[in-house]
Structures are given as C-alpha cells and as structure tokens.
Copies of this chain bind each other. A is one copy, B any other.
C-alpha cells in the first residue's frame, strides 16, 4: 500500500506547522505569526530549549496521526527525547487538546503568542516533556526509561499500540539497553503492542552517539538479536522521507495486527513473535539553519539546543532565525486568525483518539479500585504475644494470592521483582498465577506460563520501569525487592516522586495508584550474603521527598504486615515503602491488635510495658521486626535485673508519625507524641536503619535530646543474624546497657547488672571467635511474665 502524494504533501504541511510552532516556543516573545519583520524585542532575552530532536519528533507525530485516523486505533506516544518538549506542546496545541486543557492558550494567534511566551519561562511550562504536557506519561529529564515505560503501558492493554521514540543518546544508557528484552514478557494475545522508533539523529550534547555511528549491518544484527524486525527509514529530503515513513508505519502496523490476529486466534501455544521496530535516521536539527557563524549546525550537535544563540542582540542572527521561521510558510498553514487551517486540522484524529487526549496518558481516568480480600481472614492466630512464630512475608503472599484471584478478570494488578518472589516467600501467589514468560518453556520448568501476574527479571530497572508505566496508565502493582538493591532504582524513584508531586498540582491529572514496595531480605537477615547485601538506606532517600507523597512502614510482624499491605493497595499518588523480614520470627499482634496499632501508626505496647500507663523510668522504642525482637528481649533482661523498673515499650509502624504534624500529614501532634515518648525520660530507640533518620524526624520534639538511637552503623559481613545486631549495637544487651546507663533512679546501682550484660556480650564474642556456627542462632524470646 502506498500513500498518495497529496496526502504526503498534507502531512508535510502539518509537519511544517509543528516545526514552526516549536521554533516559536524557543524564540519568540511576540509577533508569533511574523506579521511584521522580526525585531529584537520579539525575541526572548534568554533562549532556552532544545531544537535538535524536535523536528524528528514532529515528523513522527504527524505520521502517527495518519495511522490513527486510518486505522481508528489507540496510540500512546512515549517521547524518550523528552527535552524535545516543544514538539509535544506544539502537536497537542495543533490537534486542540492543549487548548481544551489550558483554555487560556486559545487555538489562534493570541493563544499562539501565549504558547510561545510561556515555554521555558518563569511561571510558564518546563522545556521538557513533563506532567504538564498533555498525552505524556513520561518525564523528559533523566534518560533511560522510555522503552520500559512503553512496555509497562502496553501490558494488559490489548487494544493499545505504544509508539516509543528512543533518542540515540538515551539508547546508550543501561536501563534502555536492557529494556529491549521486554519483548520476552509481552503476550501478543493479551497485551498491547510496543513499536520502538529508534531515532538516530547522530548526536548528543557535544558528541556523536554510539548507535548512530554503527553501520546498518551492525544495527540490524543488534536488533535482530534482541528479537525484533528492524525497518530502516533514512534520509533528509522531506518528501522522500514522508513516503518512506508512511510506508514503513503502514508496514509496521500491518505486521503488528497480523501478529496479534494470529496470537488471538491461536488454539495452541503462542511463541514470541518478532515484533517490528523502526530505525529512523534523520538529521539533528532537521530543517533548521545549516550553518551559523560559518559552523555546521543542521545535522550536527550544534543544533542540540538553540541553533542561533544571539537572535535578540545580533541582527545577522535574527535574520537567520527569521529566514528559518519563514521557510515553513506559516501563511499557508494558519488562517488569518492564526488558527490551523481546516484541511490541516482534519489530519489530526478526533476526540480521545488524539494522542494528547488519550485517556491512557492520564491513567487516573481509567483507574479502577482493586477488589481486596478481608485481610483478617488471612491473619495468623498468634496466641499470647511472643509465643508463636510466623513468616511475615509468607502471610503477605497469601494475601497477594487473594488480590490476584479477585482481580484476575480485571487484569489490572501485577507483581514485579528481580527473580525473588519465591525467595521472598511470596510463593503462595503461584497457587493462582504464574510468571509470564514468552521464551521456550521446558517440561521441568515450574511456575512459567504465557500469561501470569508475576514478572521476574534480574533487573531492578526493568521491574521499576514496567511498574511505573503500568501505574501511570491506570493500573495497580507491587514491587518486591531485596532491601539493599532497591538503591539501584533510586533515581527512578526520584523522578517518579517528582512526577507525582507535579501531577498532584494539576487538576486535570487524575490520581494514579500508589507505587508500592516490599523491601525484604533486609539488612538484619542476610543469612547467606554479606556486606554487599546490607543496606537499609532507601528510607533516608525516600524521606527527602515531599511529605504528602511518601510513606515508610515497618510492620513488626505478620498481621501488621497484612494491615499495611491492605492499606497501601487502597492508596493513590503515593510511594509506600514497606520493610519486613521473610524469616520466621515471633509474632506479637492479633489481627485486632494489629489493626488498632497500625491504624494509629505507633503506640504503647501495654502488654510488654510495666509503667502502668504513666511515669516510666525509660521508654524502649522500636521500629522494624528485628529491632522489636531485640527491644522486647532487652526489656526482659532489664526486668530480670530490676523487677520494679517502670518500662514503657513503644512500637512504631508508620515512621512518618514521628515527624511533626506540620511537616507530614501522618505526623503526630506534639501532645500525642509526648504521650508516647514523654517529655523528659530517656528513650532507647532501636531502629531498623541508619540511626540519624530518627533524629532527623524527631528533631523538633520536646524530648528529642533524650533519644538514644541504635541502628545500622555500616558494620556488616557474612555472619549470624544475632551477631549482626551485636556488631551494630542493636542487640538486646547493648540496648539494656544503654537503658541502665540513662535511668536516673538507678544511678549507682547498675554496675553489677551492666557487667553481667557485658559478660554476655563477651561470651558472644567468644562464640564467634571460637565456635562459629555452633553458637546459638538468633535467640528467640517468649514473653514470660
């Protein structure tokens, strides 16, 4: 099928309009239609923006518009080179969505003027694709995640095609290089399609790109090896390029439909198809000035940002700009009011088919609440506190199994993780689902299938990116990860938090489901592994984000983990980080007690306290499963030594309760805080992570100078769990000694008790030196009073 010449000419005009509107955004304060000669005062005093990638993005947009109109399909445009913000703004304005969302920016000359002025302007819009940009789920700042977001959007969206433009700069990043393998997880019968468009315009900021300098043969081999069928579109003459691009897109969409039709009518097994992808080679800064000041600009890195730098101050530069803008012949594209001519308007799709108006790009519009089980049905029967043992994450696995079962038909929940679902003891989910896997499946394989709610790949980047794409298009999910290695995606979490913060300030962006983490195999229980696996610092990183976005939960046992999981799955626009161990541990709270405790976020454990609700000698506070165990054991030691000691045990599940009420919505009022922690008693605080986070959160509290925090001091190796706590002085003996040293009423009477405890520690050290693993394993503890 070839596209008629007249249609290609119309597309060329549309493209010119988008290019014109893009250049205008970068340069013009005024005179948007160039009705008068360009004067200095029409040019912005500070020129900010990226031209280089923009014409290519406009080119792709115009051609996708034709495909959508002709095929009446849903296409999501993921713009990897997100610094080409002018392109996405220009196109959504031309198609009308921009003016619908921002009525002040009208579809005429007055609107065009405002559109130009606001771009990369104080009080205006960012120069990158951002939440403010209609049609986008993808921030254009940090590079690497376009393709993985595209796949995340396509999963469980069988009618969606995600056209994913990947810049050749971004293609050098690790996450992008791994993301090509996402095709091994995409089921053509049940998921949508991703059409990667690798846009090789040759240059980064000041360098050629690796992929653009590779030969077509190497590129063909590379993408064939990744499992794609690459189609090349190369050139710089507009009309032949339009013909080639139109034909190639028809080809690619035909091929996608064919793959999907075959898979959706298949009766037997479906094999991984060879999906098409496009390699588009076009000049950087295409249609812009060829040379400026005698230096090569078009087709070179000098066109990356602002090709003519001094258009306000230098008449010759201004002439180059004016000639360039007039080369698009705006008068043929816009009517006397500065409105796109009707025959060009007709080239854009209608209504929600417009890429700027696609509901998937504003996923909150499509989000349906999950159907959740009653978690209490899955709660552990724990008897008296501390008398039974359970594995918290195993209980959570059973809860997630029910979530998957109840939402199977809705196909809107996925569990991602780097090959650790079973290792993290969530394997109950495999009773009702599988790991999705499109490679060969051998008869002896377990838990693999062409469909499944679990996605495992040894790349935290892919897990994170898939889930982000999935959430941003209106679905739900959870990422389970080894605690130490979640740092791999620090920067992705950072960018997602920024997206959420800005989105929440835009009334037209509807809330999306929260990004939920289970961090397990945590620092205190690295039975197999050593120092490399010991890092609880993700909480510190997350705590820097805006308070209305982040939550940090440390459920101390199975039932509290169930409550927290259930709660997190009901929230939106948040980043919920749940840290919980997977090893057998004593259980403390019945379902009812867990509910009351977790709902409060923190509270006194009266059954473990001996202050009768008032006037404690010391507050023993704890956050996290291992610190809770050690704290309760320390309380036992203290009471054995001084039976009349008035000890208060406070457990904190929701770390943000510690922060001031004015800083965080979950923060306790000072009165509530003081009721737990007193205003003047020593607080021995056992925390799961780096101690400073507690100081930081409690900094403004009255009693904070009496907080003595024990936590991870960056001491680790391969050793027993109990030895780990000793190395970091988080163990029962150190906690008890710390308490004895600080209780005024005991002054002068603690020498013997402390030396007994120190004796225990030195016995422990002897064990480590001499007996190794013969030493008692982590000493469990039974509430004995």
Interface residues of A (CB under 8 A from B): 44-46, 48-50, 83, 117, 120-128, 130, 139-144, 169-170, 172-181, 184, 204-210, 213-214, 218-227, 296, 300, 305, 419-423, 435, 437, 439-440, 442, 444-448, 456-459, 461-462, 484-485, 487-488, 490-491, 494-495, 498, 501-502, 527-533, 535, 537, 540-541, 544-546, 690, 692, 695-696, 699, 714, 716-720, 723, 767-769, 772-775, 777
Contacts and interface: CB of A to CB of B under 8 A. Distances in A.
A421 to B, nearest CB: 8
Contact of A458 (B127, B170, B458): B170
A390 B546 CA distance: 35
Nearest to A119: B718
A210 to B, nearest CB: 5
Contact of A174 (B178, B214, B690): B178
Give the dominant DSSP class at A's interface: loop
B419 A121 contact: no
A121 B718 contact: yes
A461 B690 CA distance: 26
19 contacts: A48-B528, A83-B529, A120-B528, A126-B531, A127-B530, A128-B718, A141-B484, A141-B531, A142-B485, A142-B488, A144-B488, A170-B458, A173-B174, A177-B177, A210-B457, A213-B440, A219-B225, A222-B224, A502-B531
With a 10 A CB-CB cut-off, give which of A305, A458, A484, A692 has the most chain B CB atoms.
A458
A204 B718 contact: no
Contact of A205 (B420, B447, B775): B420
Nearest to A765: B123
A309 to B, nearest CB: 13
B140 A532 contact: yes
A486 B176 CA distance: 17
Given A448-B208, A490-B490, A528-B305, A718 B213 contact: no
A179 to B, nearest CB: 8
Given A44-B773, A225-B218, A485-B491, A435 B130 contact: no
Contact of A206 (B423, B440, B494): B423
With a 10 A CB-CB cut-off, give which of A83, A127, A773 has the most chain B CB atoms.
A773
Contact of A720 (B122, B221, B439): B122
A423 B423 CA distance: 45
Contacts of A696: 692, 695-696
Contact of A221 (B122, B222, B495, B546): B222
Given A221-B225, A490-B541, A530-B141, A459 B173 contact: yes
A206 B457 CA distance: 11
Given A207-B419, A458-B170, A775-B122, A127 B529 contact: yes
A128 B529 contact: yes
A172 B458 contact: yes
Nearest to A223: B225
A339 B49 CA distance: 70
Given A49-B528, A169-B458, A213-B440, 7 more contacts: A50-B528, A122-B767, A126-B530, A126-B532, A127-B528, A221-B221, A692-B699
